[in-house]
Amino acid sequence: MQSCADWITDNFEDAVNPDTDDLNRAGEKPPDSVYTRMKGVNSLIIHHSATATGSARVFRAFHRAINGWVDIGYHFVIGNGSLSEDGEVEEGRPPWAVGAHARKHNGDTIGICLVGNFSDTYPTEEQMKSLGMLLKSLLSEYDLSSSSIILHRDLSGCKTVCPGKNLTREIIINSISYP
Ligand SMILES: [Zn+2]
């Protein structure tokens, strides 16, 4: 298993690396007391990691140790078989906590990140199946319609290509109708 420190060094050459032990410790979940509770959830925002590999553990280490955030920015991470199983859904920040994944939209949204860079590659079939099941369950839990599913790049005021040109709204909506 690749260490958090090694993953950060591999993916972000310019990152100022703090002590390796500190970095690896940052891959662990912080106590619930660090979070702010969301008042409600109105949208589900889809992201890619823009990295070839990843998992909740290494994103958490990066967001905590390098970005200085209280925790991983996303609520869910869907693996691509690199540092977690293909299609594995990992919980990041608790779903009730305000995240850090979409500037000015964090107060009432859930952030879901698929591992991969979909400007260059495509999400795996297992990732899309898991995304579909996760979205279905969240839509039902928060009593939302599919219009509440939003690509990061389609949010007002967000200048980003995330989640990459190959992850389209169409295939996301299709994923919900998998059996
Ligand atoms: Zn994004």
127: closest CA among 90, 162, 80? 80
Q: What is the CATH number of the domain that holds 156?
A: 3.40.80.10
Q: From ligand 1's centre to the CA of 160, what distance in Å?
A: 7
On whether residue 33 sits in a domain, the answer given is no
| Average pLDDT value over all residues in the chain | 93
On whether residue 31 sits in a domain, the answer given is no
Instruction: Look at residue 16 in the predicted model and tell me its pLDDT.
Output: 65
Instruction: Look at residue 12 in the predicted model and tell me its pLDDT.
Output: 83
Model pLDDT for residues 91-127, shown as the tens digit of each residue:
999 999 999 999 999 999 999 999 999 999 999 999 9
State the residue range of the domain holding 134: 4-9+40-176
On whether residue 88 sits in a domain, the answer given is yes
On whether residue 81 sits in a domain, the answer given is yes
Q: From ligand 1's centre to the CA of 102, what distance in Å?
A: 7
pTM, two decimal places? 0.94
> Residue 128 — pLDDT band, cuts 50, 70, 90?
very high
153: closest CA among 108, 116, 101, 115? 101
Instruction: Look at residue 13 in the predicted model and tell me its pLDDT.
Output: 75
For residue 134, CA distances in Å to 3, 10, 68, 104, 120 come to 28, 30, 28, 24, 24
On whether residue 46 sits in a domain, the answer given is yes
Cα three-residue angle 57-99-35, rounded to 5 degrees: 85
Instruction: Look at residue 62 in the predicted model and tell me its pLDDT.
Output: 93
Instruction: Look at residue 21 in the predicted model and tell me its pLDDT.
Output: 79
Instruction: Say how many domains are in the chain.
Output: 1
84: closest CA among 47, 118, 113, 109? 113
For residue 67, CA distances in Å to 26, 50, 71, 100 come to 11, 16, 10, 11
Q: From ligand 1's centre to the CA of 168, what distance in Å?
A: 13
On whether residue 122 sits in a domain, the answer given is yes
On whether residue 24 sits in a domain, the answer given is no
Model pLDDT for residues 56-101, shown as the tens digit of each residue:
999 999 999 889 999 999 999 999 999 999 999 999 999 999 999 9
Q: From ligand 1's centre to the CA of 45, what distance in Å?
A: 8
